[in-house]
C-alpha cells in the first residue's frame, strides 16, 4: 500500500516513477518531478490549503496503515483542519470521546481488523448524529458493492488517491446534508 500512496502523490504532481530490478542487485526507484521556477514554502502551502477548504472543522482519521493515516493527517492539517487519528475502530471510539470538540468528519478505512469502518461509522453516528463520513479503501469496488458493504449515498474515495481528489472528497463529504439535517 505504501508504494501506491507514493505513486498517487507523484502522479498527482505530474511526475513519473521508473522501477528497475536485477536479481542479486536489488531494486531501484527513480522519481521524476516537473521542475518549477518558483519556490514553494510550507507557509504558502498551508495558507493556500486553508483557504481552499477548512472552515474550522475537525476530522477523525482511522486507518490501520500508518502511511495512509499519516498522509491523510498531513494533508488535512495543511488544509487547516483540526485532526485526530486512530489506528483502529476501538481506539477511534476512545479518541472521538476525548476530543475537545465533536468530530465533523470521520475519514475511515472500510476494512480493518476487529471492527469495520462501516460499523465504526454507525457507532459514532449514534453518538454524533451530524457526523459526516468519508470511507476509503484500496479494495476494488466490486468487493465494496456487497450488500453488507457501504450504506447507499455514503462518500467514498479509492486508494491510492491524488491530493486533489482527496481534498475534493473531504470538502464534498463535509458539505453533504443528511436527510435528517
The pLDDT score that the predictor gives to residue 88 is 94
The pLDDT score that the predictor gives to residue 18 is 82
The pLDDT score that the predictor gives to residue 40 is 47
Instruction: Give the Å distances, CA to CA, from 52 to 41, 104, 164.
Output: 17, 17, 11
Instruction: Give the Å distances, CA to CA, from 21 to 1, 24, 29.
Output: 19, 9, 9
The pLDDT score that the predictor gives to residue 49 is 37
Share of the chain above pLDDT 70, in %: 73
The pLDDT score that the predictor gives to residue 144 is 54
- Scanning 80-162, the segments in alpha helix (DSSP H) are 89-98, 117-127, 141-144
Among 58-62, 113-117, 120-124, 150-154, name the one with the lowest average pLDDT: 150-154
Task: Write the CB contacts of 70 (distance below 8 Å, at least 6 apart in sequence).
Answer: none
CA-wise closest residue to 115 among 123, 107, 125, 104: 123
More confident residue, 88 or 181: 88
Among 3-17, 55-69, 120-134, name the one with the lowest average pLDDT: 3-17
Q: Is a pLDDT exceeding 90 seen at residue 16? A: no
| Local confidence band at 145 (pLDDT 50, 70, 90 cut-offs) | low
Which domains, ranges and CATH numbers included, belong to the chain?
40-175 (3.40.50.2300)
User: What interhelical angle do 163-175 and 66-78 show, nearest 10?
Assistant: 70
- Per the prediction, the chain carries an average pLDDT of 80
Provide the residue count of the chain: 181
Q: What is the CA radius of gyration of the chain?
A: 18
Q: What is the pLDDT of residues 19-62, one digit of tens each?
A: 888 888 888 888 887 776 655 443 333 333 333 457 789 999 99
The pLDDT score that the predictor gives to residue 179 is 46
Amino acid at each position: 500500500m505504501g508504494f501506491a500512496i507514493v505513486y498517487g502523490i507523484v502522479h498527482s504532481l505530474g511526475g513519473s516513477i521508473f522501477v528497475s530490478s536485477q536479481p542479486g542487485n536489488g531494486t531501484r526507484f527513480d522519481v521524476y518531478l516537473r521542475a518549477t521556477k518558483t519556490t514553494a514554502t510550507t507557509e504558502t502551502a498551508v495558507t493556500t490549503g486553508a483557504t481552499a477548504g477548512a472552515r474550522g472543522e475537525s476530522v477523525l482519521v482511522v486507518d490501520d496503515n500508518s502511511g495512509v493515516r499519516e498522509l491523510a493527517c498531513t494533508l488535512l492539517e495543511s488544509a487547516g483542519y483540526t485532526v485526530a487519528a486512530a489506528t483502529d475502530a476501538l481506539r477511534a471510539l476512545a479518541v472521538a470521546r476525548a476530543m475537545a470538540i465533536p468530530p465533523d468528519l470521520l475519514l475511515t478505512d472500510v476494512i480493518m481488523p476487529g471492527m469495520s469502518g462501516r460499523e465504526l461509522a454507525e457507532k459514532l453516528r449514534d453518538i454524533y448524529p451530524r457526523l459526516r463520513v468519508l470511507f476509503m479503501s484500496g479494495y476494488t469496488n466490486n468487493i465494496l458493492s456487497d450488500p453488507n458493504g457501504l450504506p447507499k449515498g455514503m462518500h467514498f474515495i479509492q486508494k491510492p488517491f491524488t491530493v486533489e481528489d482527496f481534498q475534493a472528497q473531504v470538502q464534498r463529504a463535509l458539505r453533504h446534508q443528511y436527510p435528517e439535517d
